[in-house]
Amino acid sequence: MNICIACGMPMTQATDYPGGDESKDYCRFCARPDGTMQSYDERLEGMTGFLVRTQGLDGQAARGIAARTMAKLPAWKSAAPN
């Protein structure tokens, strides 16, 4: 099982990858429609929205959690603001 480098999602089947391309190291949720990986800011907004929708957090709290989570992931270790 692979883990998405941009959000940490487990990728267990072809449908978890952008366009079913299992050579990618990021998931379909972290990909743009053309299959390229989203930028840090795009992913931060996506994760923030996900946390608001699924956890019922307010936007500011969700953004903080998303930023702290992303700072630990391989794709963002050098890109995340300190």
Q: In the numeric block, which tokens belong to residue 64?
A: 């903080």
Alpha carbon 33 to chain centroid, angstroms: 15
Q: Do 31 and 53 share a domain, yes or no?
A: no
Q: Do 20 and 6 share a domain, yes or no?
A: yes
C-alpha 75/C-alpha 56 separation (Å) is 26
Q: Do 33 and 44 share a domain, yes or no?
A: no
The model's pTM:
0.86
Give residue 12's domain range: 1-38
Q: Do 43 and 33 share a domain, yes or no?
A: no
C-alpha 7/C-alpha 65 separation (Å) is 12
What's 80's DSSP letter?
A: S
Strand partners, 3: 10
Task: Kindly state whether residue 65 falls inside one of the protein's structural domains.
Answer: yes
Q: Do 19 and 51 share a domain, yes or no?
A: no
**Three-state secondary-structure class, residue 19:** helix
C-alpha 55/C-alpha 51 separation (Å) is 5
- Per-residue pLDDT in tens (0 to 9) along the chain, 82 residues: 899 999 999 999 999 999 999 999 999 999 999 999 999 999 999 999 999 999 999 999 999 999 999 999 999 987 655 4
